[in-house]
Amino acid sequence: MPEQRSNLLVQDCHVLIVDDEARVQVLANHDIHVEGRHISRVAPHDPQAPASASDALVVEARGMLAMPGLINTHAHAPMVIFRGLAEDVSIERWFNEYMWPLESNLTEEDVYWGMLLALTEMIEGGVTTVADHYFYMDRAAQAVSEAGTRAALGWAVFGDQGYEALSNTAAFVERWQGAADGRITTWMAPHAPYTCDDDFLRAAADHARALGTGIHIHAAEVMSQTEASLAARGKTPIQVLADSGVLEAPTIIAHGCGIVPEDIPLLQQATRVGVAHAPKTYLKLGMGLTPISSLREAGIAVGLATDGAVSNNTLDVLESLRLMAMLQKHEARDPEVMPISEALQIAFRGSAALLGMEQSLGKLAPGFLADIVLLDLSGSHHQPLHSLTASLLYNARASDVHTVIVNGRLLMHEHRLLTLDKARIVSEVRQGMARLAQRVPQKRIQVYNP
C-alpha cells in the first residue's frame, strides 16, 4: 500500500552533485522538485515556483546544503542498546567476554526498541539507508517500516545454528523483500567464513540465488583472520567466499581489513561485490584498515559504514566519512591522497553501488529516489564558508542536519522528528539497561576462534 505523501518543493538550497567519476559541483540557489517518491527536477531557484506548484509542500532551504541521504553500508543497528559496555579490550575479549555473552540476553523486544533508537540517531544524523545485519529482523523491519527510512536487512546466522535456521533467514528475505513501499530490501546474512563452514556458505548462496537476492557477510575483518583461514583451510576468507559460490550473488563484504593482493582478482571476477568500510571500529579495535586504494584501483566499490555501536559507539556516517579521508592521507603520509571529491564520491556513489542502487540512490537528479538531507552550515564551526565541500567533509556534525526526506516523505523537519517518538523510545530502551548489561562469559551465543 503506497504511503501518503505530498509533492515537495525544496526551495533555494545549494545542491551537491557528485558523479561516478568523482566530479563534484555545487549548484547554488537551486530548487529540488519531488513528485511521489522521486526527484522530478533540479533547477535554478524560481521565486514564482511556489505559486505554480501549488500542490507541493514547500520546504524552505535557503542557504542550506542539500545532499543525498547518507547510506550506512554495514551496521548492527539494534546493538545501540549495548553501547559503552565493551571498551579498551582486545578483539578476542570483545567477542568472547563482552559481545557474545551480552547478546545472550537479547530479546525480540530489545531489537525492536534498539532499532528504533538507532533509526532515531541515524535520521538525526542524515543517514537515510542502512544495510543492517542482526537478529530478530522481523522486528527490525517493523521499526524501519514505522520510521520511514530505507534499509537492506539481513538476518544474521551462524553455521552451528544449522540449516533450518538458515532457511528461516531465507523466509525472512521472502517475507519482507520490497516491503514498506519499497523501502525495505532483504539479504541473506551468514555471519562470516570463520563461523560458517564451506557447505553452510554454499547453502546460503543457493538461497540467495533462488531468491534473487544478495549476501551481506563479514569477511577478512582483520589480517589475523586471513592468516588463520590460510592455516586452517589453505585459503583466504575471500577465496572461501569465491569457492563456496557466495561471490556469484551480489555481495556486501564487511570490513576486509585482511584482504590481501591475491584476493583482488577474485573480487574483480565476482558478480557484484563491494566492501563496507567502518573506520572508527578499526581504530578502536586496532584492526588496521580496509585496503581502499587497491580495491578502488581494481574497480571494486567501497562504501561507508559505522558497524555496530559497541565498537563504533555512534552511528554517525559523517564521522566515518571524515575518518576515512583523513586516515588515507595519514597512512600514505600524503595530504594529496583521497581529495575531497574522492571522499564524497565514495560516500554517495560508492555506498549506493554497494547496495546495487547506484541508479536510484546517492544522487540528487531527476529520476532518483527522493532521499534528501538538508544541512544547516550557518554554525560558527563552518564560518566563514569559503568551501561548502570542505566544510561538509571536515566540519559538519550530525547536529547540523536540519531536515531529512526519504522516499519523498519528510521524516525530520527543522530538527523535529516526524515519525518517531524519541522520548518513548529512549524510555523503553532504558528500562532494560540493567538486564542488558549483565554478562556471563560462559553464557554466550558464539565463540571467537577464527
Q: Which residues bind a second copy (CB under 8 A)?
A: 80-85, 87-91, 94, 117, 120-121, 124-125, 280, 282-288, 313-316, 326-327, 329-330, 332-337, 339-340, 378-381, 383-387, 390-391, 394-395, 397-399, 422, 426, 429-430, 432-433, 436-437
How far is 379 from 382, CA to CA, in rounded Å? 6
Residue 235 to residues 220, 239, 243, 244, 449, Cα–Cα distance (Å)? 11, 6, 9, 12, 17
Q: Cβ(172)–Cβ(208) under 8 Å?
A: no
**Least Cβ distance, residue 306 to a second copy (angstroms):** 11
**Least Cβ distance, residue 432 to a second copy (angstroms):** 8
Cell matching residue 77? 543497528
Phi, psi of 57 (to 5 degrees): -75, 125
**Least Cβ distance, residue 362 to a second copy (angstroms):** 22
Amino acid letter, 144: V
Phi, psi of 82 (to 5 degrees): -105, 5
Cell matching residue 195? 563461523
How far is 432 from 117, CA to CA, in rounded Å? 13
Residue with smaller CB distance to a second copy, 85 or 211: 85
Cell matching residue 424? 518513548
Residue with smaller CB distance to a second copy, 23 or 381: 381
Give the Cβ contact number of residue 233 at 10 Å.
Answer: 16
Q: Cβ(98)–Cβ(104) under 8 Å?
A: no
Dump the DSSP string for 52-116.
HTTTEEEEE-TTPEEEEPEEEEEE-GGGGGGTTSS-S--HHHIIIIIIHHHHTT--HHHHHHHHH
Residue with smaller CB distance to a second copy, 36 or 63: 63
**Least Cβ distance, residue 367 to a second copy (angstroms):** 32
Residue with smaller CB distance to a second copy, 40 or 293: 293
**Least Cβ distance, residue 187 to a second copy (angstroms):** 26
Residue with smaller CB distance to a second copy, 178 or 335: 335
**Least Cβ distance, residue 63 to a second copy (angstroms):** 12
Residue with smaller CB distance to a second copy, 50 or 288: 288
How far is 322 from 314, CA to CA, in rounded Å? 14
**Least Cβ distance, residue 375 to a second copy (angstroms):** 13
**Least Cβ distance, residue 377 to a second copy (angstroms):** 11
**Least Cβ distance, residue 162 to a second copy (angstroms):** 33
Helix, strand, coil percentages in the chain from 3-state DSSP, rounded to 5: 40, 25, 35
Residue with smaller CB distance to a second copy, 64 or 240: 64
Residue with smaller CB distance to a second copy, 171 or 326: 326
Dump the DSSP string for 279-290.
HHHHHHTT----
Cell matching residue 205? 548462496
How far is 117 from 370, CA to CA, in rounded Å? 23
Looking at 380-433, which runs of residues are DSSP E strands? 401-406, 409-413, 416-417
Amino acid letter, 242: A
Residue with smaller CB distance to a second copy, 54 or 333: 333
Give the Cβ contact number of residue 381 at 10 Å.
Answer: 12
Closest to 250 measured CA to CA, from 227, 267, 225: 267
**Least Cβ distance, residue 140 to a second copy (angstroms):** 17
Residue with smaller CB distance to a second copy, 199 or 421: 421
**Least Cβ distance, residue 126 to a second copy (angstroms):** 13
Residue with smaller CB distance to a second copy, 117 or 238: 117
